[in-house]
Amino acid sequence: MRDDRGVRTVPSIIHLDMDAFFAAVEQAAKPSLRGKPVVVGGLGGRGVVSTASYEARRFGVHSAMPMAQARRLCPNAAFLSGRFAAYRQSSDIVMALLRERSPLVEPLSLDEAFVDLEAGPYGPALADAGPQTGAQLVLAVAEDLRADILERTGLTASVGAAGSKLMAKIASEQAKPDGLVLVEIGSERAVLSPMPVRALPGIGPATEQTLRRAGLTTVADLADAGEGELVQLLGRAHGTGIHMMAVGHDERAVVPDRDAKSVSVEDTFEVDLADRDRILHEIDQLTARCVGRLRAAGRSGRTVVLKVRRFDFSTLTRSETLRAPTDDETVIAETARRLALQVDTTGGVRLLGVGVSQLADYTQEDLFAQAAQAAEAQTAQAAGTGAGTEESAEVPAEASAGAAGAGGADAPGTAPGGRAPAEPPSVLRRWLPGQDVHHAEHGPGWVQGSGVGRVTVRFETPYGPPGRVRTFAVDDPDLEPADPLPLRRV
């Protein structure tokens, strides 16, 4: 199934993309929302739309739109905050179905993945097939896959099949929603040529503008322009990459199991932060969450990054690279705090973020690395390095970690993700629209809304008809948060 230049002769790469994924999961889980506009995203004053159902898109609502604007466009939609545990459940099922077709699955996000069918059970048959029958086989496999996904999750997926990642991705976009498109080997240029430059992944608003100023608006224009001009306009890497894509050349392999290269956590505040101490406190909180995820992944990091978005939306980062990787909350918090002192926060801070990069595989128990770090710190101290002295004081001070950050140093094994554990229940009772709940008498349901001491719950499950609404006091002891139900009975 490769020609003598190593190019595929069968469109055996598929790109799968779930349709309006988050919103579709909500509709599958909540029968009363099926066929209705649903908007998932941040519900606060500064939230944006994460996903809009196709019903909501008809009103002009789309991803990344400010939630306030979405409410104006489509006031009757259901506005829900996300339920990531539920999305992961469905995603896991979908990814498992993909892996039945080939071990070579490259997830791009919860709802998107490439699959190389050549490497799977259909590989031999595809290898024996000519271009025509090969394409037929790929279509059959893809339709079977979509049917399986629908049966097992109740969700629709769109699939593109082609001889390269680029064309498979473009094909799945054309297939949306709930469709399948195959780009025949050899027809790549014809498919690409009339498309606007924005159709190519990697061309966003800025690049589009640059190209437009040079008179380049279609992919055919890019191909005709030639590599030289594109490098001139866009720089070495981007220019050559875009040119390769424009002429339909893409031999990138499907690669599974990419290790994360950074871990970060950020928060936008409802009201800008002005107080120095408050800012430092938030940095401690963010650090605790970041470290929680770092440790959960069994990693440590060497570079600490602080991100600050100011009142005027100007965004800057400050980073510091340590002498050795760490997952020590105190060290990371101290570093982030030190970085915070370098930025002018007068006027207010809209967003803070704490991240770690230059990741290494090592865990808290890696005493050798800790010892090495401490020794190096001492050397630095002896050499009179300012930053070194500060850290060397922290590294061995394991016991101080618990005392350091408020909410920091969560007891291991409490809440996943390192959330603050021990708040009184009355304070934790913040009911979010969309959230799964269970009532002692009425059973499973979800929060439709809350306010003025009351919470409204709709009692329904993915398996039954639309349910009835009831209202309770927010601190009703019979009402509890619940885990998401599977979309299909198990």
160 binds DNA (CB under 7 A): no
DSSP output for 66-89 = BHHHHHHH-TTSEEE---HHHHHH
Of the candidates 54, 110, 49, which has an alpha carbon nearest to the alpha carbon of residue 79? 49
Nearest approach in angstroms of CB 265 to DNA is 4
Q: Which is nearer to DNA, 431 or 472 (CB)?
A: 431
Q: Cα torsion at 488, 20, 167, 12 (round to 10°)? A: 0
Active-site option among 26, 112, 329, 460: 112
Contact 134, 143 (CB under 8 A): no
Stretch that binds DNA, among 6-14, 214-222, 353-361, 429-437 (CB under 7 A): 353-361
Of positions 66, 407, 481, 486, contacts DNA by CB under 7 A: 66
Q: Which is nearer to DNA, 114 or 431 (CB)?
A: 114
Stretch that binds DNA, among 89-97, 351-359, 360-368, 452-460 (CB under 7 A): 351-359
- Dig out the tokens for 208 from the structure: 């589009």
Contact 143, 180 (CB under 8 A): yes
- Would you give the DSSP letter of residue 464? S
Of the candidates 429, 437, 359, 428, which has an alpha carbon nearest to the alpha carbon of residue 29? 437
266 is catalytic: no
Of positions 4, 6, 64, 465, contacts DNA by CB under 7 A: 64
Of positions 136, 218, 264, 378, contacts DNA by CB under 7 A: 264
- Would you give the DSSP letter of residue 164? S
In a 10 Å sphere around its CB, with 0-12 CB exposed, 13-18 middle and 19+ buried, how is residue 246 labelled? buried
81 binds DNA (CB under 7 A): no
Largest CA distance in the chain: 73
390 binds DNA (CB under 7 A): no
Number of residues that bind DNA (CB under 7 A): 57
C-alpha 487/C-alpha 316 separation (Å) is 42
| Total residues belonging to the chain | 490
Q: Which is nearer to DNA, 126 or 161 (CB)?
A: 161
Binders in 310-349 for DNA, by CB under 7 A: 313, 315-321, 342
Binders in 266-305 for DNA, by CB under 7 A: 266-268, 293, 302-303
Residues assigned a catalytic role? 112
Chain residues that interact with DNA, rule: CB under 7 A:
42, 45-48, 50, 63-64, 66, 68-69, 71, 108-109, 111-112, 169, 200-208, 235-238, 260-268, 293, 302-303, 313, 315-321, 342, 350-351, 353, 355, 357-358
